Amino acid sequence: MGTYISLLQRNRNYRNLWFARVVSNLGDWFNLLASAALIAQLTEAGTAISFLFLMRFIPLFLMSPFAGVIADRFDRRHVLIATDVLRAITVASFLIVDRPERLWLLYVLTALQFVFSAVFTPAETALIPNVVDEDDLITANALDSLTWSTMLAIGAMLGGLATALFGVTTAFLLDAASFLLSAYFVARVVAPPKPESEGGELAVAPGVRAGLVAFVDGLRYLAGQRFLLVIALVKAAGALVWGVANVIEIPLAETVFPLNGNGSLTLGLLYAAVGIGTGVGPLVLRNLLGDSKLAMQRAITIGFICLTAGLLGLALAPTLPWLLVATTVRGLGSGGIWVFSTVLLQVLLPDHVRGRVFAFEFAALTLTQSIGTLWAGYAYDTLQLSISQIFVLDAVVSAVLLAAWLLFQWRLHRRPAVVAG
């Protein structure tokens, strides 16, 4: 932990970027729990929850080609500030949704919020190597993961309590305020000038058509790097699985394990368990395996194993404590997959294509996560599968993805090393 404190103490720019992440992530979990609670108040359909997640994911996919080009062409710090302010205005507008006939507006505003998030996320991920020395890059990413997970645990608990005790209005207002505070901290970051493009064919020109061409050029670069392409698709594979779990955990909390008749409190505990798993898991794996590229590939393997085991545990959970342990294991798996695939890309990608590659990665994972959430709602509402049956099927898919990853690793190590460890 001293390494992380040292980084925050000596790197003012990263410290401000980290403060922005803390308050923004905290507000995000207030928003999700409040939105889910509001939908539960206005409708009982499981597909309504699925639509909420779809409205959070589809804009991320559709905007990603433009978001990647924006992250590579414009000052990434200015991009973050603008999107934070726009998201604050959008989230404050959620207060208009106060009766069932206005539920459609919640979906529209959620989609708009995540249009701006689609621009924010690749720009932020691509900015980190611009404000952190290469020697500190893994430390910074591990701390970012720990921060996201900690804010998930704290935000989910506080969000569940705030929604249950004070209502959704308070949660939405806190989320809007968090975006404004995030913009303040980002404004204090002083990033060095963006380095010149290392390849004229990948230079980002103005204009929509030129932007699309630049995005395609970035994909062409990625297609020529087989190892990087697979790593960029790792999160998409995991998202197909945890997209299902994210939806089914809500009726699980509301109908099977409500605390004192309140599903929001149980859902808060479940998100807290995910946060603990995703926060502790990558730190433990890093201490056990090390920082080499080969070690990070092994950590991804362990991540898929834990994800599969956690889903099976959810399918068999007889009590709330069992449920929380299985959820923690699932979180450990998703955290390992997320963190170590991100670090590998940040270490290996040149700056001039970093935004576009992370935009592609984000588009792929939001597409598969949308498929997972849509399937979850359909299986629960239309096919009327039980919660346990859905989790078993999800675990089977996770096991297949694990087998595919192991096959890739086996073929990779049969040949001369693509990436040195």
Q: Are 40 and 166 in contact, with CB atoms under 8 Å apart?
A: no
What average pLDDT does the chain have?
83
Whether 420 maps to a domain, the answer reads no
Give the per-residue pLDDT at 283.
80
Tell me the H-state helices in 74-193.
Answer: 76-92, 103-131, 137-166, 168-187
CB-based contact 124:68 (threshold 8 Å): no
**Which residues, in sequence order, are CB contacts of 36 under 8 Å at separation 6+?**
49, 52, 250, 264, 267
For the chain, what is the domain count?
Answer: 1
Domain membership of residue 167 (yes or no) is: yes
Closest CA to 311 of 396, 374, 401: 396
CA distance 226 to 348: 13
Is there a domain that residue 197 lies in?
no
Q: Does some domain include residue 222?
A: yes
| pLDDT of 420 | 43
Task: Report whether pLDDT(230) > 90.
Answer: yes
Distance (Å, rounded) from C-alpha 5 to C-alpha 143?
9
Examine residue 286 and state whether it is found in any structural domain, yes or no.
yes
Is residue 419 in a domain?
A: no
Position 39 scores a pLDDT of 83
Position 44 scores a pLDDT of 64
Residue 301 has pLDDT above 90, yes or no: yes
Angle ∠(90,356,128) on CA atoms, nearest 5: 75
* Percent of the chain whose predicted confidence (pLDDT) is above 90: 25
Judge whether 421 lies within some domain.
Answer: no
pLDDT at residue 191, as a whole number: 75
Q: Is the pLDDT of residue 147 over 90?
A: no
Q: Give pTM, 2 decimals.
A: 0.76
Question: d(Cα 303, Cα 285) in Å, to the nearest integer?
Answer: 9
Identify the pLDDT of residue 153: 64
Which domain CATH number covers 80?
1.20.1250.20
Q: Which domain holds residue 359?
A: 7-190+208-414
Residue pair 120/83 in contact (Cβ under 8 Å)? The answer is yes
Single-letter code of the amino acid located at 104: W
**Averaged pLDDT, 10-35:** 85
Q: Per the domain annotation, does 232 fall within a domain?
A: yes
Amino acid at 209: R
Locus of tokens 């109908």: 255
Q: Identify the bridge partners of residue 259 per DSSP, sorted by sequence position.
A: 262
In this prediction, residues 383-387 reach a mean pLDDT of: 88
Check residue 205 and give its pLDDT.
46
Q: Average pLDDT in the 399-409 region?
A: 94
Q: 16: which 2 tokens?
A: 């401000």
For 302-332, write each residue's pLDDT tens digit: 999 999 999 999 999 888 899 999 999 999 9
Mean pLDDT of 247-270: 79
Task: Decide which of 83 and 197 is more confident.
Answer: 83
Supply the pLDDT for residue 73. 81
Q: Worst-scoring range by mean pLDDT, 115-119, 192-196, 293-297?
A: 192-196
pLDDT at position 210 is 56
Least confident of 96-100, 184-188, 337-341: 96-100
Cα(34)–Cα(268) distance, rounded to whole angstroms?
11
* Percent with pLDDT over 70 in the chain: 90
